[in-house]
A and B are shown apart, each in its own frame.
Chain A
Amino acid sequence: MAESIVLGGYLLLTVGLGYLGLRMTKNAEDYYIAGGSLGWAVGGASIASTQMSSGLFIGTIGVVYAVGWSFAWVVFVFPLAYWMMVAVIAPRFTRQRKVSLPDFFEARYYSRAARVIAAVIILVAFVIYISAQVIAGGLIANVVLGVPLNVGMIGFTVIILLYTVIGGMFAVVYTDFLQMMIMIVGAALAIPAVLQHVGGLANLFALAEGANPSMFTWDGLPPSLLITLSLAFFLGAVARPEQLVRFYAMRDMATIRRGIGFVIVLVGVAHTLVFVLAIGATALFPALGNGDLAMPVLAEYALPAFLGTLLLTAVASAMMSTVSSILLVAGTALAHDIYGIIRPSSSPRRKVMIGRLGTVLTGLVPLVLLILGVGAGQLVQFIVALFSALMGAVFLVPVVAGVVWRRATREGAIASMIGGLVATIGWRVFGDTDLIDPVLPGFTAALVLMVATSLVTAPPPAEATDPFFADGPERTGAPAPGAPAGSR
């Protein structure tokens, strides 16, 4: 009964917010970037919940369970990455309000090819990433509700598609806000129940230390490994397309700064709560064969039914908030950056319709492939393992160079994206990934290619760089207010 109330209420609220998004969406700019009107609270919570996927509640808790609290120090990369985004990237990146990262590339690098290459990389990587999340969603439904895997995958996809397709960015950010709050509340309410089981905070620490002697030492994750891992996380976090597009969705720079402050608070609170739950799982269930089981076991055996379901709803929330954001960005790449070039449309209604169609297609393709038995194997695991590295290796250099180095050229940007992609995949296939994360050779190749290619090619024309670099008031050089999104 408690499970039905929690899950049913959550799903109703989610779909209700999708309907609210539908009511608020009047044109393509509303659909893709919420009309550029988001305030700091919704914008910040949306960035934070998009960053925190099921990886936090399943993978991260499992790693802390296995290696101890030393892994928690990796979290510092997130405030630093977001601070860099808002201090270095956002001021010039948002001078012209676009609706996607490929859009920015076309404007800054005066190149439609750069836009299409970025859109194709986003589309392929995101669609494959979504398929892995669909499998995970199906598994959660299978475990919690006892439905067959295929039914779980279909239900998971249909619910996310429903609110993302009808409500666009408004629905995505409002559900992100709700999902972020469920993550915090679910994890926070679970902690007193865990403390009650073990007999207080002091006992919790003592039991966890007894179960895992490296829990509160640096032995589990030596500082050298911690630094390498943190660098890889940092490079993968700074220039994510699904995060950068939220800068376009927020009102102005002051709002973005305030929103990123909120992100830093939410990321710190959510991660710390999850780390404490990992200590709880270590203290209560010290002999789990696989750390990834820590959260489900904790929810199932250590918490009352209501709290256990709330915690599993938090896991589902983490997954759904990330998937809906990625789905919308992949749909934008297909509808706006690829189809929009082939068949430009001037009608606002038609633009929204094409945006919705793009989102439906990018959501249904992975589901259909999975049901047909295609893509459930190694390719999906391969891309998911590489996803963060690919984002860092492909997009970080052209984004940062685009806003800090006026001399960066379109040839440099294209060489950088393709070189970063090839080097990352090449290292994953042929290199020693235990020693060096693929993002490091990928990022290095992208950086070298950007600098070398830009220096040997003709400088960019002033009309392409002036809107981003010219002195004067911030954020000038864009079309007049009221111009349709697609014309930019």
Chain B
Amino acid sequence: MAVLESGFIVWGYLLLYVLLTAAYYAWSAYRDRRDRGTGRTTRPAGSAREGSHDG
């Protein structure tokens, strides 16, 4: 079965990408917790509007 024999070059790629994404989200969550814990404001100074525009 070529689909399985393609092996690491395909399935390793997919697995590594998922692991890398998970690692990023873990790091991001850690930084969020750390910022909240230290009471840091993460809002940049300037004239940003209130509220989000996520459509």
Contacts and interface: CB of A to CB of B under 8 A. Distances in A.
Contacts of A174: 55
A386 interface: no
B51 to A, nearest CB: 7
A254 interface: yes
A12 interface: no
B53 A205 contact: no
Given A70-B9, A76-B20, A42 B43 contact: no
A79 B48 contact: no
29 contacts: A24-B53, A36-B46, A40-B54, A69-B13, A70-B9, A75-B13, A75-B17, A79-B20, A83-B27, A97-B47, A177-B55, A201-B3, A202-B2, A205-B1, A206-B1, A206-B3, A209-B6, A216-B2, A251-B48, A253-B44, A254-B35, A261-B24, A264-B24, A268-B17, A272-B17, A475-B41, A475-B44, A479-B46, A485-B47
Contact of B42 (A34, A202, A253, A480): A253
Contacts of A201: 3
Interface of B: 1-3, 5-7, 9-10, 13-14, 16-17, 20-21, 24-25, 27-28, 31-32, 35, 40-55
A477 B2 contact: no
Interface string A7-34: 0000000000000000010000100001
A272 B47 CA distance: 39
Interface string A474-488: 111111111111001
A7 B43 CA distance: 40
Given A202-B2, A475-B44, A42 B53 contact: yes
Given A39-B53, A79-B21, A257-B31, A94 B44 contact: yes
Nearest 7 A-B pairs (CB), nearest first? A97-B46, A478-B45, A39-B52, A36-B48, A39-B54, A205-B2, A216-B6
Interface in A414-470: none
A18 to B, nearest CB: 14
B45 A481 contact: yes
Contacts of B2: 202, 205-206, 208-209, 216
A260 B25 CA distance: 9
Contacts of A69: 6, 9-10, 13
B5 to A, nearest CB: 7
A123 B42 CA distance: 32
A196 interface: no
Interface in A237-257: 248, 251-255, 257
A258 B28 contact: yes
A38 B53 contact: yes
B13 A477 contact: no
A473 interface: yes
A42 B10 CA distance: 30
A8 B3 CA distance: 39
Contacts of B55: 41-42, 174, 177
